[in-house]
Amino acid sequence: MAAIYLKNDLLFITSNKDQTLEDLLTGFALGKIMIKHLINDRIKINGKLVKNKMYLVRYGDIISIDVAYDVDYLPSGKLCQIVYEDELVLIVKKRAGQIIHDDQSDDALDNDVATYFTSKGYRRHIRHIHRLDKETQGLVFFSKLDFFGPYYNQQLAEKKIKREYLAIVKGHFHDCIVDKKIGKDRHVNNKYRLSKSGKTAKTKFTLWKYHNGYSLVHCELFTGRTHQIRVHLHSLGFPIVNDAIYGKADANFQNMGLYAYKLTFFDILKNIMVDVTDDAYDDLNYFKMF
């Protein structure tokens, strides 16, 4: 991997081999449209503006890329709750009932991130890499640079960004793996079900704690289908507490009991794996295990 560092609004990449500029950029998962945009007036090689994607980059050449953009979401006025941040990545905590993205609202998580970026003077677009259901709480991964958005999207698609969840269900749960396809329920809007003609879906469930009639279940996704954990647990007869679609209300807990509590990803600058966890939720105190 080429040496990479960020200074102010410039991204510097030191080429580790002879290659065309297009090949170097494609190596970061950039598509043709973004490459065309960057080579318009944002890329310099050894200090010289380069607009030809077939330019031959030599070993040791220094490529500088202007990564500054105006914040593209309306700030909500509320700061996001930051769990982890480095030069390229921002991981924030989404509250129950909050959506991540909505063009018609200024109360989405993207808008809270816009508030943070504006307060820090960051000239960056807002780019979430994945989403959570509205009632699911927990960690959401943002790329702080447009340049690395396609790279992190590819990492997510290849399961190199690992997402782990905790779920609260009623009853004494037992470890299992569910490998059953999921499709839309044609009779109920925004509801999914097991379906032989649906999309492949696989989830590993592990009991972490049983206490006074309820189980805390660790959930590991092998695929990322809409409502996957919720549908698979419902199919087992263990719907998540306070799940308005697949379960029922439970007065012992405040919110739907599903938490995106851990993200694991590769730090491209430091060449190390990073684990980010957050288990600070009032309802999880029921199990007294943290």
* Active-site residue, 133 included: yes
24 contacts: CB under 8 Å, gap ≥ 6: 2, 13, 15, 57, 63
Q: Strand pairing of 258-267 and 137-143?
A: parallel
Q: How many CA atoms lie within 13 A of 35 on its CB side?
A: 17
Quote the CA–CA distance of 221 and 123 in Å, as a whole number: 34
Catalytic residue, from 61, 110, 112, 133: name it: 133
User: Which residues are the active-site residues?
Assistant: 133
